[in-house]
Amino acid sequence: MAEGTMRRICVFCGSNPGRRPEYAGAAREMGRVLVERGLGLVYGGGNVGLMGIVADTVLAGGGEAIGVIPEALMAREVGHAGLTELHVVRTMHERKAMMADLSDAFVALPGGFGTFEEFCEVLTWSQLGFHPKPCGLLNVAGYYDPLLALFDRGVEEGFIPAKHRGLVIEETDPARLLDACARFQPPSASKWIGRDER
């Protein structure tokens, strides 16, 4: 993906701030780098946790922040009232589809089950060839080490083709992660293993 073709980055992250100050620091730095590069933010629409920190940082820097939130989560995640755009949708499926449509790359900061699920879904879509967009993990303070080890185990045990392990872009620094996303070239091979590859 060429540098100029990335206009908006979808950021998946926690609706809690986490226990370590490094998590909030990484969220602020991600927001700052997005503004510095003129990249818009697409995210889950909340104003709490790491979600709120990224959005507030982007807005404070004069950047574009687009939120997508289901009706049922407006109260629980506290929809952000100051966004460039806030789309309120009916279901989680609609939320994820709209976020994907609006974005040119996907990045996961630390988060919980929702963050894991959202990242793994867009990663699976990439593996299946449904989109050519980069999928990156910001591995703050080693948070994603166990997940990355699980991906490696999947390769070792024959559940993930080795060539698809490269679909997961991993970095510890937001600027370097976005650089790697801009350089990403999707593999041409499809997920499915032919009879002669077994």
How confident is the model over 25-65, as pLDDT tens digits? Answer: 999 999 999 999 999 999 999 999 999 999 999 999 999 99
Q: Please, are residues 43 and 65 in contact by the beta-carbon 8 Å criterion? A: yes
Q: Is residue 79 part of a domain?
A: yes
Tokens coding 120: 């793994």
Q: Is residue 188 part of a domain?
A: no
Q: Is residue 195 part of a domain?
A: no
Q: Is residue 44 part of a domain?
A: yes
Q: Is residue 197 part of a domain?
A: no
How many CA atoms lie less than 13 Å away from 164 in the CB half-sphere?
23
How many folded domains does the chain comprise?
1
Compute the Cα dihedral for 121, 93, 42, 140 and give only its sign: negative
Reduce the secondary structure of 66-78 to three states and give it as a string: EEEEEHHHCCCCC
CATH number at residue 32: 3.40.50.450
- Fill in the DSSP letter of residue 193: P
How confident is the model over 75-132, as pLDDT tens digits? Answer: 676 889 899 999 999 999 999 999 999 999 999 999 999 999 999 999 999 999 999 9
Domain span including residue 129? 3-179
Cα separation of 83 and 85, whole Å?
Answer: 5
Q: Is residue 58 part of a domain?
A: yes
Q: Is residue 185 part of a domain?
A: no
Q: Is residue 192 part of a domain?
A: no
Work out the angle at residue 138's Cα, subtended by the Cα atoms of residues 168 and 143, and round it to the nearest 5 degrees.
Answer: 100
